[in-house]
Structure 1
Amino acid sequence: MASAVIKRFTPSRRTDDSLWDEIGLPSRGEALYRVVRDGLRYSTFCQIAELAGTDSKLLAEILDISPTTAHRRAKAGRFSPHESDRIIRFAQALAAAVKLFEGDRVQARSWMQAPVKGLGNKPPVDMLATSVEAEAVLDLIGRLEHGIVA
């Protein structure tokens, strides 16, 4: 599926909060809720794709956003709240993976693309279109951070 779509990462030793700073969004709280409710800007979506080392077309595919819908959102300049929620879940998983690998985006990308036993041998990137699967990815990252075997 989408596991081979994230192509390149710029190596960086940054924390997960700096990833949020780079895209100009709060990582949590009421301000983030408002962004999702109001609809994420298309330009922010493109920034997230760039930070993930992919392009907007491939990120839309990962998030199960049809090419037609993505094109309409590009013209309108914003995503719907539902689509924004999926995009933010992706950003949360990316930030958590970067934090897990102590800021190393190359290792984070590799991990997100590789089948993971703790996720039923699915790559994390293939599990970010639904809230249930994204929660499983974030839960696994949390367990790994605390040394709990998956």
Structure 2
Amino acid sequence: MNQANVFTPSQKPLGFWGKVGFPARGPKLHQALHDGFPFDVYSKLAKLSGLDKSDLASATVIASATLQRRAKSGKFNRDESDRLYRFAEVFKAALDLFEGNNDSASLWLKSQVRGLGNKRPVDMLATSAETEAVLDLIGRLEHGVFA
């Protein structure tokens, strides 16, 4: 058979959540959070966001000694996974705000933002309330609501 006539399905490029390695929402995400994310999620998030690993550790409040233990065990616990998810959610929202431009989204996360009281978004991810404030601001910016 002529190879030129053989149908081969094209590989659909992975979206953001596929590249990170966990589902965006729903029961599969809930289970993944309870089970703990695999350790490689950390490297994927650092690479995608353009943050160095120490900045990501700081943003997600994961100590370097804990990272070393998680590297050996191969996965994060539930609370650490939740903080990694919150970071990913904020980075994805920033990425959408900047129309897929990783550099702009990363720069915004690391810059002081007036709408956050001149704090850097990356410094406001330790709690769910602060994370919500960052996501709310991104939503307002997307819709042109600045007050």
CA-based RMSD of the aligned residues comes to 1.4
The answer to whether the Cα contact below 8 Å between 1:23 and 1:44 also exists between their aligned partners in 2 is: yes
Structure 1 stretches of 5 or more lacking a match? 1-16
The answer to whether the Cα contact below 8 Å between 1:100 and 1:141 also exists between their aligned partners in 2 is: yes
**Distance in 2 (alpha carbons) for counterparts of 1:135 and 1:53:** 22
**Residue 45 in 1 paired to residue 42 in 2?**
yes
The answer to whether the Cα contact below 8 Å between 1:116 and 1:123 also exists between their aligned partners in 2 is: yes
User: With CA pairs under 8 Å and 6+ residues apart, which has the higher RCO, 1 or 2?
Assistant: 1
**Distance in 2 (alpha carbons) for counterparts of 1:64 and 1:133:** 13
**Residue 23 in 1 paired to residue 36 in 2?**
no
The answer to whether the Cα contact below 8 Å between 1:46 and 1:55 also exists between their aligned partners in 2 is: no
Partner of 1:73: 70
**Distance in 1 (alpha carbons) for counterparts of 2:38 and 2:52:** 16
**Distance in 1 (alpha carbons) for counterparts of 2:112 and 2:55:** 19
Which has the greater radius of gyration?
A: 2
Partner of 1:87: 84
Partner of 1:61: 58
**Distance in 1 (alpha carbons) for counterparts of 2:32 and 2:73:** 16
**How many correspondences in the alignment?**
134
**Residue 146 in 1 paired to residue 140 in 2?**
no
Aligned AA for 1:111?
W
Once the 2 structures are TM-superposed, how far is the Cα of residue 133 of structure 1 from its aligned partner? 0.6
Give per-residue Cα distances to partners, 1:22-54, cap 9 Å, x unaligned: 123211111111111100110112111111113
Spell out the pairing of 1:101-112 with structure 2 (5 A cutoff): 101-112=98-109
Once the 2 structures are TM-superposed, how far is the Cα of residue 102 of structure 1 from its aligned partner? 0.7
The answer to whether the Cα contact below 8 Å between 2:60 and 2:83 also exists between their aligned partners in 1 is: yes
The answer to whether the Cα contact below 8 Å between 1:113 and 1:125 also exists between their aligned partners in 2 is: yes
Aligned AA for 2:68?
H
Aligned AA for 2:146?
V
Q: What TM-score do the two structures reach when normalised by structure 2?
A: 0.86
Give per-residue Cα distances to partners, 1:120-144, cap 9 Å, x unaligned: 1101011112111111101111111
